Amino acid sequence: MKNITNSLTHNKIKGNMKSKEVYTKYEKTRIIATRALQIAQGAPVLVDVPKGLMDPVKIAELEWEKSVIPIDIKDKEDK
């Protein structure tokens, strides 16, 4: 479980990500899938994409790694 938590941890200061430090694997999947759909529909890409990379999911994963995805997850307590 520790590896999953570490891979889903984001620094509050880095990028435009929400201030939440740890996302569940379900939240991470939802964020990447939503961002990939946006990219597939023509949204601007927020990172430098390596030449030849056309897969929106891979591009969304790159954005996740750089913590620049501008998508927010609201917890039930935030309502």
pTM of the entire predicted model: 0.71
Distance CA 37, CA 34 (A): 5
The pLDDT tens digits for 4-37 are 333 444 444 345 444 566 888 999 999 999 999 9
The pLDDT tens digits for 46-79 are 999 999 999 999 999 999 999 999 888 777 776 6
C-alpha 1 chain-centroid distance: 20
C-alpha 12 chain-centroid distance: 13
Residue 56 belongs to some domain of the structure: yes
Count of domains observed in the chain = 1
Q: What are phi and psi of 46, to 5 degrees?
A: -100, 5
The CATH code of the domain that includes 14 is 3.90.940.10
- The domain containing residue 27 runs over which residues? 2-71
The tokens of 57 are what? 């999911």
Band of the pLDDT at 1, cuts 50, 70, 90?
very low
Residue 78 belongs to some domain of the structure: no
Provide the strand spans (E) within 1-79.
none
Residue 6 belongs to some domain of the structure: yes
Residue 79 belongs to some domain of the structure: no
Strand, helix or coil for residue 53: coil
